[in-house]
Structure 1
Amino acid sequence: MPAHVPGSVRSVTEQNFTERVLQAERPVLIQFWAAWCRPCQMVTPIVESLAADRAGEVDVVRADLDDQPGLAARHGITAVPAFVVYAGGRPAGSWTGAAPRHVLDQYLASALRAPGADR
């Protein structure tokens, strides 16, 4: 498997969820998306930019709703795009919907400030 490039967005699946999210050294932002979802297509470049800008601070992964229905169900995802932040192996915050970069930054910062989110 090729080495992970910091700041890049990798896929997360049921099979690698423990390694990539629960055992991650840094907080993790999960983007739930679907290929048919127009708002997902619009927000994906923003999420990729956020991943690059916050490399070393937050890992960013994405899960395809259609390919990973169990993972989506586990997180109560009923609409996409949806986001879940994990810190210390536990959910620290979540939100649904496409948003501009500054709003995503605010949501992420708020989740990372949540009680129990510190590592």
Structure 2
Amino acid sequence: MATVAVTDASFDTDVLKADKPVVVDFWAEWCGPCKQIGPSLEEIAAEMGDDVIIAKVNIDDNPNAPSRYGVRGIPTMILFKDGQAASTKVGAAAKTAIESWIRETI
């Protein structure tokens, strides 16, 4: 499974009403660290797709969702469980660190 592009319009359906945990990556085209973790998130989506959805929100195109959840810097990843923000990770991290964070939270 690949990462899912989520918009402000689809956020409630794609994230809050999802049938499994969702990691939302808030990112932007101009953000170097965001580009660094992109491939890791794609790999995690492929490897853990049965357990978790990896979603990406471009903050430049979709300003409502990041402001709703207090995103101040990017990349910021928020893991949602049962429609609630369960855990937040700010900044770029190694793939293994991201995977560990996801496994601890789900």
Fold-level similarity (TM above 0.5): yes
The separation in 2 between residues aligned to 1:87 and 1:75, in whole angstroms, is: 14
How far apart are 1:75 and its partner, in Å?
A: 1.0
Q: What is the deviation of 1:111? A: 2.2
Q: Which deviations, in whole Å up to 9, do the C-alpha atoms of 1:56-93 show, x marking residues without a partner?
A: 11011100111111111011111111100011111110
Q: Tell me the distance in 2 between the aligned counterparts of 1:53 and 1:44.
A: 14
Find the residue that maps to 1:86 and give its secondary structure: strand
**Separation in 1, partners of 2:91, 2:8:** 23
Structure 2: gaps of 5 or more residues: none
Distance 2:73 2:105 in 1: 19
User: For residues 20-35 of structure 1, what are the structure 2 equivalents within 5 Å?
Assistant: 20-35=14-29
Letter in 1 for 2:79: V
- Counterpart of 2:11, as a letter, is F
CA offsets per residue over residues 3-45 of structure 1, 9 Å max, x none?
Answer: xxxx111111121111111111110000000100000111100
Q: Does 1:85 align with 2:79?
A: yes
102-111 or 19-28, which moves further after superposition?
102-111
1:42 aligns with 2:69: no
Question: What percentage of residue pairs aligned between the two structures are identical?
Answer: 29
Which secondary structure does the structure 1 equivalent of 2:20 belong to? coil
Q: 1:107 aligns with which of 77, 85, 101?
A: 101
SS in 1 for 2:77: strand
